[in-house]
Structure 1
C-alpha cells in the first residue's frame, strides 16, 4: 500500500470499489488507498479513541517500566544496607557490578526490538520480564563479588528489550504529536520507582535476619518475585497492534492505522505511506544516519546524569551526613516532583507549535544548573542542603528531558523497521552512558564526589550543543525539501526512502 494520494479533508480516504465497503465502515485489512470511493472517518471521536487506548495500554506499560527501573537501580539501596560489606567488595568492584549491566544491555537491544516487531508484544515483553525477575531473585542469594557480577551481566541481557521495546510499541499506536505525553506517562514510572525504591528498601531492610538472610538480600528477592508475578499477568493484558485491538471497533482500527501510515508526510503536499516490509537496508541505514549519532550525544547528556542519580543518590545523601534510613526517605520527594514535571512538560510538548527541541533543551539547562550547585556545595563543604537542592533540581530536569529525547528521535525515523532498529540503536548505545556513569562516583572520592559532579556537567554541556545541532539541521533540511517537492520520485520509491524522502518532514 504505497499510494500516490493528495491530502484529503479530515476523515476522508480512498478505497477500492472492489472492497465493497459501505460509506461508514473500513477495517484496516481491507482498506485500499488507490481506489475511487471514499470512506468517511468524520464520525470517529478522536478523543474517545485515544482515551480508550490510554486506559488499555499505558497503565500496564508504566507498571512494567516501574519494575524494570526498580530492579536495575535497587542495587544502590542494597549497597547502603550492607551489600558490599557482606560480599567483601571494595569500591572498584561495586562499580564494575554496575558497569557490566550496560555492556549486555547495549548489545541485546537491537535484536530484541527486531524480535518485538516480528513476534507479538504480548508474548515478547512478558517473557523477557519473567527472565529478569528470575535473575533479580537469584541476586538475593549470591555469595561473592563474582556471583553478583555474573548476575548483573544476565540482568542486562534480560532487561535490554523493555525500554526500547515499549518506546517503539508506543509509536505503533500513537502519532508523532501524541507520543511524548504517553512516553512520559510510562517513563514517569521510573521516577515513581526511584521514590518507591527508597520506601521499599526502608521497609524491607527491617527484615534483616528473617530466614537467616540479610536485609539487602530481601530487597532483591521480594522485588524479583513481584516482577515475575506481574509478568505472568502481562501475558493476558498487553495488546499487540492496532490492527488486532479487540477494544476498538473496525472503523476505529482503520482510522488509527491510516493516520499512523501517513503521519510523516503531513504538511508536504503529498501523502506517502511508510514502508512496512522488512529489509536489511532499513537496519543498516540506522548505522549511517547522521541524526542518530548527534542524538547519541544528546542522549549521553541526559542518561549519564540519570544513572548517576539513580545508582548513587542514596549514597550521595548518605555521605552528606544522613543515616541510611533517612537517606532512603530523602530520595522520595525528589522523584515524586520529577514524575509530575515529566508528565506536565510532555503534555505541553505534544501541543507545542515550536517543536520538541525547547522541551529537551530547557530541562537540560536545569540539569546543568543542578549539578553546578551540587559541585559548588560539595567543594565548599558544610552545606549539605545546597548539595541536596542541586541534586533535586538536576533530577527535576532529567525526567522531563529523557522522554523528550527518545520521542524526538522516534518522531524523525521512518519507516517501521528503521524506527524499530534506530530507536534500539539510539537507546542501546546511548545506555553505554550508564556504563560510564557507573564509574563517576568512586568510593575514593567520597564524601564530596567532585569528579562525579564535574563529569556530569561536562556531559550535559555536550548534550546541549547536540540539541542545537539537531534543531538547526532539521530546520535546514525541511526548508530545502519545501523548495524542491518530491523531485520526481515514484510513490513506491518515496515510501522506501523513509525519513530520507523529500516528502518527509522532520519534527523540530
Structure 2
C-alpha cells in the first residue's frame, strides 16, 4: 500500500517541524543510524587526513625544512599561500564536476591523487619544487570540503545537517592530535633521511589507503546506497522529500547561477568567509612557530599541538551541542565563537611574554572560530535551495576561503618573528569584519522570513522544491533557518 507523504510545517520563526507519518519511525531511526555509521566516519577520517596533509608544512617547519630547502625571507609564507592558489583555481571546476559526476567516486579519486602529491613533497630540494607541489596539492584537495557539505545536504534533512557537518569537521581537530604525536615521534628518528621527508611519506601513505577505502564504500546518493536495503533506500529518499533538501540533479542551470550572484546572502557569506580566513591562514601556517615563539623548545612545541587540537575539539562539540539543542542558534553560536577568538587573540598580543602558559591559553581560546566552518557550510546547505545554486554558492564561499588563506600568511613577516605583531593585528581585524557580516546575515534572514509571512506564503507540504529543483528565492514558502 502506498504511504501518504506528510507535510512539513514551517512556523513564522523559520522553525521546521518534523513529519510524523512520512516514514515509519523505527525505519527512519534505522536509516539514520546506518547513515551516521557509514557516511560520517568516512568523511571525518578523510578530513583528518586532508588537514594533516595540508598543515604538514607547519610541522615540517619545526623539522628544519626551511633550512634544508634554503627558504629565506617570505618564501615560507609563499609556500604556505600557494596551496590556496591551487585550491582557488580548482574551486569552480569542482562545483561543475560535483554536479556532472557521482560525487562519492569523484571526491574519492581526488583523495588518491592528493596522497601521491603529498608524498612528492619528500622529493623537493628547493623553493621552486615546494611551490609546485603545494600548488597541485591545493588543486587536488579543493573537492573535499564542498563535496562533503553537499553529501551531508544530500543525505540528511535540514534540521539534521548542522550536527553532522560538525561531526565530520572534528577530523580537523583530530589532525592536530595525531599530527603532534606523529611529528614528535618522527623528530626522534636519527637515520640519514631528513625527518620532514619521512613525515610527508608517512602522511601520504596513510591517505592513499583511505582514498581506496572511500572509493569502494562512500555513497553518492540515498537511492544508490548499496549498504541500505531496498526498503531503507526508499525510506531514505522519502524522508528527504518531506523537507526542502534538494536531490541530486545532473543538470547545470544558468538561471540559478545568476540568482546566486545576485543574492545578498551569497555576498554576506563570501565576505564573512574571506575575513575569517585571514587569521585562519596565518594560524594554520604559523601556529607551531607562534607557540615556539612563546618560549617552548621544538619538541615541546610539537607536543603542545595536542592541547591546542583538544581545545578545537571542545569548541566544535560545544557549537554542535548549542545548535542541536537550542532552536535558531546557528548564527548566534557563530557570533559567540568569533567573540571568543577576538578575546584569545588579544590575550596573545597583550600578555607579557614571560607568562608562556597564559599566552598558550589565549591561543587555545583563539581557535574557537574553527567551529564556524562546518556551521557556515550548514547555513549554505540549509538556506540555499536549488542544486546548481547551492554548488555555485559553495564554490564562491570556497573561493573566498582561498583568498583569505592566501592573504593571511603574508601578514606574518619573518622580520617580526617570533611575535608576529602585524599577523595578530590582521587576525583581530578579520574577526571584526566577520562578526559584522554574521550580524547582517542574521538580520537579513529574519527580514526575509517576516516578509514571506506577510505575503501569506506557507509551505504546503508538496514536493515542488524537490521535484522542480526550485531555489529559495523562487519558492516563497521557503523559510531561512537561523
TM-score norm. by structure 2 comes to 0.90
Aligned to 1:460: 431
User: Cα distance 1:77–1:388, how it changes in 2: closer, same or farther (>3 A)?
Assistant: same
Give SS of 2:262's match.
coil
2:176–2:305: 8 Å Cα contact kept in structure 1? Answer: yes
Residues 1:381 and 2:353 are matched in the alignment: yes
Shift of 1:372: 0.8
- TM superposition shift of 1:275: 8.9
Query: Do 2:57 and 2:285's aligned partners in 1 also have CA atoms closer than 8 Å?
Result: yes
Separation in structure 2 between the aligned mates of residue 447 and residue 5 of structure 1, nearest angstrom: 60
SS in 2 for 1:414: coil
Which one is further off, 193-202 or 248-257? 248-257
* Alignment partner, residue 117 of structure 1: 99
Matches within 5 A, 1:275-290: 276=249, 277-290=251-264
1:480/1:382 CA distance change after superposition, 3 Å: same
Task: Say whether the 8 Å CA contact 1:207–1:218 is kept in structure 2.
Answer: no
Verify the 8 A CA contact 1:75 1:311 in the aligned structure 2: yes
Matched, 1:394 2:366: yes
**TM-aligned CA deviation for residue 287 of structure 1:** 2.4
Correspondence 1:203 to 2:185? yes
Query: Any gaps of 5 or more consecutive residues in structure 1?
Result: 13-39, 266-272
- Alpha-carbon distance between aligned partners in 1 of 2:25 and 2:112, rounded to the nearest angstrom: 42
Q: Which moved more, 1:472-481 or 1:118-127?
A: 118-127
Alignment of 1:60-75 (within 5 A): 60-75=42-57
CA separation of 1:480 and 1:138: change in aligned 2, threshold 3 A: same
Q: In the aligned structure 2, how far is the partner of 1:179 from the partner of 1:349?
A: 10
Output one character per residue of 1:288-344: Cα deviation in whole Å (capped at 9) or x when no partner: 222121112222343333332222111111112211110010110111132133123
Q: Deviations over 1:3-52 (max 9, x none)?
A: x996599355xxxxxxxxxxxxxxxxxxxxxxxxxxx6235443332111
How far off its partner does 1:492 sit? 6.3
Correspondence 1:217 to 2:188: no
Match of 1:162 in 2: 144
In the aligned structure 1, how far is the partner of 2:166 from the partner of 2:310?
13
1:139 matched to 2:111:
no
The one of 330, 347, 359 equivalent to 2:333 is 359
User: How far, CA to CA, are the matches of 1:274 and 1:325 in structure 2?
Assistant: 49
CA distance in 2, matches of 1:155, 1:216: 17
CA distance in 1, matches of 2:277, 2:463: 39
1:104–1:153: 8 Å Cα contact kept in structure 2? yes
| Cα deviations by residue, 1:157-192 (Å, 9 ceiling, x for unpaired) | 111111111111111101111111111111111111
Are the aligned partners of 1:173 and 1:242 in contact in 2 as well (CA < 8 Å)?
yes
> How large is the RMSD of aligned CA atoms in angstroms?
2.5
**8 A Cα contact 1:370 1:391, kept in partner:** yes
Question: Structure 2 CA distance, aligned partners of 1:401 and 1:493?
Answer: 28
The alpha-carbon deviation at position 497 of structure 1 amounts to: 4.4
State the partner residue of 2:208: 228
Q: CA separation in 1, counterparts of 2:471 and 2:375?
A: 22
Q: 1:127 aligns with which of 109, 118, 124?
A: 109
Tell me which residue corresponds to 1:258: 238
1:415 paired residue among 386, 389, 392: 386
Residue 171 (str. 1) matches residue 153 (str. 2): yes
Q: Is the 8 A contact 1:205 1:219 kept in 2?
A: no
> Do the aligned partners of 2:31 and 2:235 also contact (CA within 8 Å) in 1?
no
SS in 2 for 1:140: helix
| Cα distance in 1 for residues equivalent to 2:168 and 2:470 | 31
Q: Structure 1 residue 469: deviation in Å?
A: 0.2
Of structures 1 and 2, the one scoring higher in RCO (CA 8 A, sep 6+) is 2
> For the residues of structure 2 that align with 1:439 and 1:505, how far apart are their CA atoms?
40
Query: How many Å apart are 1:403 and its aligned residue?
Result: 1.4
Conserved? CA contact 2:282–2:412, under 8 Å: yes
- Following the alignment from structure 1 to structure 2, what is the Cα–Cα distance between the partners of residues 491 and 175? 14
Structure-1 separation of matches of 2:26 and 2:349: 54
Structure 1 residue corresponding to 2:219, chosen from 215, 235, 239: 239
Q: Is 1:316 aligned to residue 290 of structure 2?
A: yes
Tell whether 2:448 aligns with 1:477: yes
- Deviation, 1:113, is 3.1
SS in 2 for 1:467: helix
- Aligned residue for 1:207, secondary structure, equals coil
1:304 aligns with 2:278: yes
Q: CA deviation at 1:448?
A: 1.5
- Structure 1 residues 376-400: Cα deviation after superposition (integer angstroms, max 9, x where no partner): 12xx4333223211111111x1232
User: Is contact 2:345-2:366 (8 Å) kept?
Assistant: yes
Task: Measure the CA separation in 1 of the matches of 2:141 and 2:206.
Answer: 15
Contact 1:99 1:435 (8 Å CA) reproduced: yes
Is 1:449 the counterpart of 2:431 in the alignment?
A: no
SS in 1 for 2:391: helix
Identify the residue that residue 269 of structure 1 maps to in structure 2: none
Note the C-alpha offset of 1:416.
1.8
Instruction: State the TM-score, normalizing by the size of structure 1.
Output: 0.86
The structure 2 residue matched to 1:191, chosen from 173, 188, 194, is 173
The CA distance in 2 between the partners of 1:42 and 1:446, in whole Å, is 61
The Cα shift of 1:147 comes to 0.6
C-alpha distance in structure 1 between counterparts of 2:412 and 2:8, whole Å: 54
User: 13, 19, 31: which is aligned to 1:10?
Assistant: 19
Q: Report deviation, 1:223.
A: 0.8
